[in-house]
Amino acid sequence: MKIGDKVRFLSEVGGGRVAGFQGKEIVLVEDEDGFQVPMRVSEVVVIGNENYDTSHVVEVKQKSKPAPVVEPEPCDLPITFRKPAEERKGGDRLSAYMAFVPIDIRELTHTRFETFLVNDSNYYLRYVYMTAEDNSWKVRAMGEVEPNTKEYVEEFGREVLNELEHCCVQLLAYKRDKPFQLKPAIDVQLRVDPVKFYKLHTFQENEFFEQPALLYTLVENDKPARQLVIDAQQLKREMYGSPEGESAQHAQGQRPATSFSSSGKVTGGRVMSGNGGNGPLVVDLHVNALLETTAGMSPTDILNYQLEVFRKTLKEHEKQKGTKIVFIHGKGEGVLRSALVNELKYRFKTYQYQDASFQEYGYGATQVTIR
């Protein structure tokens, strides 16, 4: 407070300008009539020169103290709580399936399909889903499936069915926040038949979906599904129950199930030539011509063995350019023929193939020309 400041009284009505001071406690206030009224300094307040601009105050606060943090509403906070995985009795054995589900099964010829990975175990599954492209692979999806749940993978139409014919799923199993039994990594290749997506009976009732679905087993009760390609010697060992395979057959006086020569008509699974050695090689892939017994073998085992004979035959004659080989596979449901065509498309792409002569071999034969 200084001389000339405009003031007002706190305890009574009135005020004026500061005319002077009497000591430190008394201020002389001159009113409008020119009279000087002595007042205690504590009883007056300066009003004339007050500065109500608070911008400088705000600036000081901003420099000296950071702006307050606005706390988010509880409903805006991210959910960090993870419900513990539910486990079931018997779920410590791995079981997982690839499932194809029609979106509208009533319109099977036009509907699109959804792909799911079903995890029927107490383990988390980290997965990679791939399809074959020539001699390489393309990743279609990857992710994690929680225990005893199913994971949506993708939606597709019939235009990509041929891309799905040869697919592979790799799985890694583990548990979180608790000890668990170590499981080996799973690597399963599947052959998906596009024809099945046109047949209503292909899609069956199941315990995982409310609607019918086509299921392919990846692993069941810790046992991975059989691979598309199996080792022929291993199959023989399993069939004959001997670690020595063919040696055990000879020791028991049995002939090998299949033998090959360079030419001839088919006799009991052997390859022989027709027309005096000038005709095509002929290989009968009927199981009864290849194996003496199929005891203990599943349909998949038999198909894999037939494919192994097919591959071995082409391999043995790969340097004989122009050679024609007729494979008799029979008509049946066309499963074996479809498998042979897939092999020719992806494994033996340079070879030419066509239906063999109907007059000589009927409907169930395919002729391959080595190129």
284-296: pLDDT as tens digits = 898 888 887 787 7
Label residue 333 by pLDDT band (50, 70, 90).
Answer: low
When the pLDDT of each residue in the chain is averaged and rounded to a whole number, the result is 79
For residue range 68-102, list pLDDT tens digits in order: 777 766 666 666 556 667 788 889 999 999 999 99
User: Residue 143 pairs with which residues in a beta bridge?
Assistant: 127
Please enumerate in sequence order all residues whose Cβ is within 8 A of that of 73, keeping only pairs 6 or more positions apart, or say none: none
Q: In the predicted model, what is the mean pLDDT of residues 200-209?
A: 90
CA diameter of the chain: 149
b (16+ CB within 10 A) / e for 11-45: eeeebbbbbeeeeeeebbbeeeeeeeeebeeeebe
| Of 9 and 332, the one with more pLDDT | 9
pLDDT at 272: 47
Predicted TM-score (pTM) of this structure: 0.45
pLDDT of residue 199: 85
pLDDT at position 239 is 47
Nearest one of 265, 316, 257 to 287, comparing CA atoms = 257
Q: What pLDDT is recorded for position 51?
A: 53
The Cα–Cα gap between 125 and 146 comes to: 7
- Give the whole-angstrom CA distance, residue 206 versus residue 153: 19
Q: What is the CA radius of gyration of the chain?
A: 43
CA separation for the pair 124, 173 (Å, rounded): 6
How far, in Å, CA of 317 to CA of 328, rounded? 17
Write the pLDDT tens digit of every residue in 116-166: 999 999 999 999 999 998 778 999 999 999 999 999 999 999 899 888 989
Structure tokens, 322: 């122009």
